[in-house]
Structure 1
Amino acid sequence: MKIFEKITKLLFTVVILVTTGTYVYADDEVTFTAQAPQAVVRGERFRITYRVNSANPKQFRAPDMKGLSVLAGPSTSTSQGMTYVNGQMTTTASVSYTFIVVAEEEGDYTIEGATVTVGDKNYTSNGLTIKALPPDSSQPQSRQQSGQSSSSSHSGGSSQSGQQTPDEISSDDLFMLATVDKTSLYEQEAVLLTFKVYCSPSLNLTSLSNRMPDLKNFHVQEVELPRNKEFQLEHYNGRNYKTVIWSQYVLFPQQSGELEIPSTTFEGVISQPVRSSTNDIFDFFYNSNRYIDIKRDLTTRRIAINVKPLPSGKSKNFYGGVGEFTISSTISATDITANDAVTINVVLSGTGNLKLVMTPNLTLPQDFDIYDPKVDNKYTIKNGRQTGNKVFEYLFIPRHAGEYNIPPLEFQYFDIKSGSYKTLLTDGYTLNVAKGQGGESHVSMSYVSKEDLKFVGQDVRFRTTVGKLSNVNDMFFGSAVFWILLSLPAILLFVLVIILRKRISDNANITRVRIKKASSVAAKRLKVARKLMNDGNKDKFYDEILRAVYGYLSDKLVIPVANLSKQSIIEELGKKSVSDELIERVKRLLDDCEFVRYAPGDDTGRMDRMYEEAANTIGELENIIK
């Protein structure tokens, strides 16, 4: 009786909620979509489904499926969902039309969109493109090639009778292929490295390690791929496989010659059900839902790449750019007053090794206060290429009034398509600097002193002063101290003129300025790197360390940016009587700056060691090279 009363109360509550609530159908925009696999096997059945998110569609009209045999359909199914919030019930509904079809011939099939009527409007779905693959060959060719190896192990149970063993999975059932989009290219030209996994449709690949290949002499940019991998059917070497691109990298070779992408090993885990060959009823119950994990090492082949050196023809305005670029510039103001800050933004856009392009040199008048340029990388990896723009922000402050001409910035790069060097120019600017406040000031002072003496009834006579008289030799005026203090401003002015002329002379010698300021510029960059390290910004930390080391060596050894390389650095250090041990440390530091970011291990400890090594090496070089 009590149970009956509870059921009655529950039903009453539901009736009250339903009768007092308000039904509202979701008023989302109507969508009509078609879904089908991108690839199928000839002779095997598959589904084509059309779905419209409406409760009452009318007059569904299927397209002509030329070349496909329709075995069944359209079968109609309806799905509904509802939510109840604040006394208001929202209902969503959709209707699906499903066909079961089969491709009788191999090839590509194009299916136009279907149509349906909702209310008084007609809607057309998207079209479909389906590729029909041939079935597996009866005797598939072996994919195993020289230089590849595979091994396997399993966990989750011993290899007993009735269990799936690793030996049942051959190297043709699961493997990884490494490919590049080109094998002959120029130095600094991008090449796309792709790792693609091939898995038999009967296997359940549950996980795969995503190892970074050991790539020396390459600058590496990883391509961001979706986390959720979606396998597609592909016919390869006489068999059909589930395939997916597992990882991709854009590589920029840093030197010419025969370079190698070494073989890389991935570890895959396959989950297989335990199968029993006995008729034991207990074995059926206890092993029916058991799985074992089978581990398989997937090893790719090495790939040889021929890297051609850049041809001759570089100018001083070549900053390492290889690709296709355009350049533009803007200035914050052209009519200013002295001591106002001015900014010139130079935007380098295009496709190529944007991240590796060095900062161009903007020619400015010598008496301007010039600050280190700010660089902002805004690029993405698209279609296996680095594309976007790189913004250089130049900040300077004119200190004196006048008219100044800022010449165009010249940027030379190597164009891949034409195989030649091209030069780009920004706009030139005329800067009108007016005299600002706080310039010369003129102060004039005057005073009048007089005495009116009146003598009544007497003639005018000399005024006498009664008081203590002082010796003329004791007076400050005309003393030695007086003459010293009088001449001191002139002496200080003369010294100041000499110092200023020497500074102007030094600044005119760009080479001497670079050598003199090399250590201070490197110290500033190391300070920025220390802050990036504390913030945990690994990529920018290594970039800043690389700029600090290369920039210091370029300035200290007077090596132009266009000729800056490891070989030229080592040769110049040898000329400066630097010890072989220190030269080897510099070489190792340059290698680590480029490649240590991709090595496994503790990033924090590695960055700290890298910072200390860079600071110590620069300090020792500074003591030796004067």
Structure 2
Amino acid sequence: MGVTHNATASKFLILILLSIFSGGLTADNISFEVRTPPVVNVGETFRLEYVLKGARDGLNFRVPRFSDNFEIKSGPHISNNASHSGTNYEVWKSYLYIVEAKEKGTFSMPVSTVEIEGVEYKTVEVQLKVLAEGENSEHFQYDIDAFLRTQVSRTEIYEDEAIVLSCQLYTKVPILEVKDTDYPVLADFEVGGKPFYDHEGIPVFRQEKYNGGLYSVSDLRKIVIYPNRVGKLTIPEVQAAFTFDKRALDEPRKGLYPGEKRGEGVDKLLRSEPISVRVVTLPKNKPDDFSDAIGKFKLRSEIKGSQVKVGELFALKLTIEGIGDLGLASAPILDLPNGLEIYDLKSEDYSFFGDSGIQSDKTFGYLIIAKESGTYRIPPARFVYLDPESGTYNVLTSSEYTIAVAEHKIKGTVVASRY
């Protein structure tokens, strides 16, 4: 029984394999085509390939007849190929010639025929444009799916509000070089000192879907800008020149053949579309202690030294963080009781580009000195900012602290504690 079962299974498997392999031999699935780049230069070698798809073999392949405008460097290189993807199985046969263009002009590539089971298949006539040696071919028929896109983190902003301006390259073709970039003068904006990003060398790419297609996307530049005036402001186009990998534009390579030169780059100049930003005035009823910060923020506080002596310094640290620029934000208002004085105030700010715009973190460090002994209540500090989405002024407050200050044994001495 076991032998009979194995034999039956083997026959069944053979029938499945035969049905798979024979699927590519139906007349509907067979085609014969010629592949060539649309444009080359005089003296350049290129691949001219006749491809029989849907069959592993053919009879009476007619060798193409080349004119004196071309020189065959090698070929035909004949190969049988197959690919398998899921349930799809494809076979094809390739007749490859390495050819050098000798004269400038537009020429028809030789037509060829091949016979399969008594049926003749013929390639269609295709045109090849040959440019002069060294002539730039960027404007001739290469369909490079790539574009520049400029974006801002917000298109409607308040006066003095910082936004992120980014220039991005979207491409489906690998690039060999960023040749040149021309960023416009932003007459209606001031450019912030930080954060600031400019690509160096070959940009780093990520994958992103756009308009239904999957692109490799790279940030060429990111800067922070501030509007100079109220109204509709325009950000002009950006233009940049790139060298794209010509090998990716031609048919996929299957190795180098004798007489064939390695692929070179194709230059193309890209331009972005101008974009507009609408700038409006600040909402009315602005508080007197408005910090000039616009965004969404949180406030946290920390004190070091809740028990000190007269003449000693203790530290209060207030940290504001969130989405928005804090570079020019004023310090939170701290109303100290009599007997306590601010000895020194320092600030440190850190910002970077986040997914929602500028991500900021600013710390204000207050060094406070007690002039008299006693118990002091340090009320909450107050920080006022504008929420651009709601158009309202919001108030953040820190924690309240109680400080016990004792008499110092040696009067008149100021001792600084570590912060």
Task: Determine if contact 1:322/1:416 at 8 Å carries over to the other structure.
Answer: yes
Q: SS of the residue aligned with 2:219? A: strand
How far off is 1:337 after superposition? Answer: 0.7
Structure showing the higher strand proportion among its residues: 2
Task: Determine if contact 1:339/1:397 at 8 Å carries over to the other structure.
Answer: yes
How far off is 1:325 after superposition? Answer: 1.7
Q: Look up the equivalent residue of 2:137 and give its one-letter code.
A: T
Q: SS of the residue aligned with 2:327? A: helix
Q: Which runs of 5+ in 2 are unaligned?
A: 1-82, 89-129, 250-256, 413-419
Q: How does 1:391-470 map to 2 (within 5 A)?
A: 391-439=363-411
- Provide the C-alpha distance between the structure 2 equivalents of 1:252 and 1:207, rounded to a whole number of angstroms: 28
Q: 1:244 aligns with which of 217, 222, 228?
A: 217
Q: Look up the equivalent residue of 2:158 and give its one-letter code.
A: Y
1:206 and 2:176 aligned = yes
- Provide the C-alpha distance between the structure 2 equivalents of 1:264 and 1:412, rounded to a whole number of angstroms: 37
Partner in structure 2 of residue 264 of structure 1: 238
Task: Determine if contact 1:182/1:191 at 8 Å carries over to the other structure.
Answer: yes
Q: SS of the residue aligned with 1:168? A: coil
- Provide the C-alpha distance between the structure 2 equivalents of 1:236 and 1:326, rounded to a whole number of angstroms: 36
How far off is 1:242 after superposition? Answer: 4.4
Q: 1:314 aligns with which of 277, 280, 286?
A: 286
Q: 1:229 aligns with which of 204, 211, 216?
A: 204
Q: Look up the equivalent residue of 1:261 and give its one-letter code.
A: I
Q: 1:217 aligns with which of 173, 190, 202?
A: 190
Shift in CA distance, 195/102, structure 1 to aligned 2, threshold 3 Å: farther
How far off is 1:190 after superposition? Answer: 5.3
Task: Determine if contact 1:363/1:407 at 8 Å carries over to the other structure.
Answer: yes
How far off is 1:228 after superposition? Answer: 5.8
- Provide the C-alpha distance between the structure 2 equivalents of 1:258 and 1:187, rounded to a whole number of angstroms: 12
Task: Determine if contact 1:314/1:421 at 8 Å carries over to the other structure.
Answer: yes
Q: How does 1:530-549 map to 2 (within 5 A)?
A: none
Partner in structure 1 of residue 165 of structure 2: 193
Q: Which runs of 5+ in 1 are unaligned?
A: 1-97, 104-157, 276-283, 441-626
Task: Determine if contact 1:347/1:390 at 8 Å carries over to the other structure.
Answer: yes
Structure showing the higher helix proportion among its residues: 1
How far off is 1:365 after superposition? Answer: 5.2
Task: Determine if contact 2:164/2:358 at 8 Å carries over to the other structure.
Answer: no
Q: SS of the residue aligned with 2:334? A: coil
Partner in structure 1 of residue 299 of structure 2: 327
How far off is 1:404 after superposition? Answer: 3.7
Q: SS of the residue aligned with 1:249? A: strand
How far off is 1:398 after superposition? Answer: 2.0
Task: Determine if contact 2:294/2:388 at 8 Å carries over to the other structure.
Answer: yes
Task: Determine if contact 2:334/2:381 at 8 Å carries over to the other structure.
Answer: yes
How far off is 1:198 after superposition? Answer: 3.8
Shift in CA distance, 432/262, structure 1 to aligned 2, threshold 3 Å: same
1:386 and 2:352 aligned = no
What's the CA shift string for 1:449-490, capped at 9, x where partnerless? xxxxxxxxxxxxxxxxxxxxxxxxxxxxxxxxxxxxxxxxxx
- Provide the C-alpha distance between the structure 2 equivalents of 1:297 and 1:367, rounded to a whole number of angstroms: 68
Shift in CA distance, 346/200, structure 1 to aligned 2, threshold 3 Å: closer
Task: Determine if contact 2:153/2:356 at 8 Å carries over to the other structure.
Answer: no
Shift in CA distance, 329/271, structure 1 to aligned 2, threshold 3 Å: closer
Q: Look up the equivalent residue of 2:381 and give its one-letter code.
A: L
Q: SS of the residue aligned with 1:166? A: coil
- Provide the C-alpha distance between the structure 1 equivalents of 2:158 and 2:145, rounded to a whole number of angstroms: 37
Shift in CA distance, 301/309, structure 1 to aligned 2, threshold 3 Å: same
1:344 and 2:319 aligned = no
Give RMSD over aligned pairs. 3.9
How far off is 1:196 after superposition? Answer: 3.1
1:100 and 2:75 aligned = no
Task: Determine if contact 2:191/2:223 at 8 Å carries over to the other structure.
Answer: no
Task: Determine if contact 2:344/2:368 at 8 Å carries over to the other structure.
Answer: no
- Provide the C-alpha distance between the structure 1 equivalents of 2:405 and 2:134, rounded to a whole number of angstroms: 90
Task: Determine if contact 2:164/2:225 at 8 Å carries over to the other structure.
Answer: no
- Provide the C-alpha distance between the structure 2 equivalents of 1:312 and 1:339, rounded to a whole number of angstroms: 44
How far off is 1:373 after superposition? Answer: 1.8
Shift in CA distance, 241/364, structure 1 to aligned 2, threshold 3 Å: closer
Task: Determine if contact 1:210/1:247 at 8 Å carries over to the other structure.
Answer: no
Q: Look up the equivalent residue of 1:206 and give its one-letter code.
A: L
Q: SS of the residue aligned with 1:217? A: strand
Task: Determine if contact 1:192/1:384 at 8 Å carries over to the other structure.
Answer: no
How far off is 1:265 after superposition? Answer: 1.9
- TM-score, normalised with respect to structure 1: 0.38
How far off is 1:363 after superposition? Answer: 2.8
Q: SS of the residue aligned with 1:358? A: coil
Q: Look up the equivalent residue of 2:222 and give its one-letter code.
A: Y
Task: Determine if contact 1:188/1:353 at 8 Å carries over to the other structure.
Answer: no
Point out the more displaced range, 259-268 or 379-388.
Answer: 379-388
What's the CA shift string for 1:323-363, capped at 9, x where partnerless? 12222222212321111111001121322223332222423
Task: Determine if contact 1:354/1:387 at 8 Å carries over to the other structure.
Answer: no
Q: SS of the residue aligned with 1:438? A: coil
Shift in CA distance, 242/322, structure 1 to aligned 2, threshold 3 Å: closer
Task: Determine if contact 1:401/1:435 at 8 Å carries over to the other structure.
Answer: yes
Task: Determine if contact 2:333/2:383 at 8 Å carries over to the other structure.
Answer: no
- Provide the C-alpha distance between the structure 2 equivalents of 1:432 and 1:246, rounded to a whole number of angstroms: 54
Point out the more displaced range, 158-167 or 350-359.
Answer: 158-167
How far off is 1:305 after superposition? Answer: 0.6
How far off is 1:318 after superposition? Answer: 1.0
Task: Determine if contact 2:195/2:352 at 8 Å carries over to the other structure.
Answer: no
- TM-score, normalised with respect to structure 2: 0.54
| Percentage of identical aligned residues | 23
1:360 and 2:332 aligned = yes
How far off is 1:229 after superposition? Answer: 2.9
